[in-house]
A and B are shown apart, each in its own frame.
Chain A
């Protein structure tokens, strides 16, 4: 059984287009795991706390956010690396993650999500007694 790796290996499920028709950007993520939790970091530059949508539905974690940059009127583009105003990425979570205790914070466009493992599945050290 190796379900704990789902969140890392399944990756993005789908990135449907937004209402304006341009496909959503797929934010770059780092995913780390230790004994207590899985931690996810996602680059969402331009997304404010108000425009961030973080949802857990059944076993799917969905990250969505709109880039809220105010631009002067009549601006012409000289160069554009970023060609959409929306980020979206989804991950499948596994059973041993406690979805009720997920914590998230957003600072300077960097989203940090902590997905704690259920108490009962945390690795525990087995004491070996002599004799």
Chain B
């Protein structure tokens, strides 16, 4: 199942972007201008954004939260995700590795201009927050009939 999904052209997890990231790492920065709201790689939470003909899909990888701990807001085409990750060190325990993120987080994502902010639907499942937006009706691609 996963094998075939990763073979899709332009897949979210595709190989080409990985190569590009490696190149970015190698050259120190990406060659083109960066998004003004771009954050350093490895920032929490990890986010994947994809677009279809009908809309935009956002996947936020934030494990171990409660729904109430995530705050989502949208202004025009800017989606803001913020919240608080509680620290979970048990009292009196020694810590060895502490790689998991804790504290407050915030990320802003610029979505395509033609999405309809009122169409947002969000759900949190297995630690992934999935937000979908539909494109504005007038922005959807349509077939043009050729008259004979």
Range of interface residues on B (Cβ < 8 Å): 35 or more
Q: Is residue B46 within 8 Å, beta carbon to beta carbon, of the partner chain?
A: yes
CB interface residues, B 115-144, toward A, < 8 Å = 124, 126-128, 130
A72 and B57 form a contact (CB under 8 A): yes
B127 near A30: Cβ-Cβ < 8 Å:
no
How many residue pairs between the two chains, A and B, have CB atoms under 8 Å in the bound complex? 172
- Mask of A67-110 contacts with B, CB within 8 angstroms, 1/0: 11101111111111111111000000000000000000001111
**From DSSP, what is the main secondary structure of chain A's interface residues?**
loop
B2 CB–A CB distance under 8 Å:
yes
Residue ranges of A at the interface with B (Cβ–Cβ < 8 Å): 5, 7-9, 11, 18-22, 28-34, 39, 41, 43-48, 66-69, 71-86, 107-110
B binding-site residues for A, Cβ under 8 Å: 2-3, 5-8, 10-15, 17-18, 21, 41, 43, 45-54, 56-57, 59, 61-66, 88-90, 92-101, 109, 112, 124, 126-128, 130
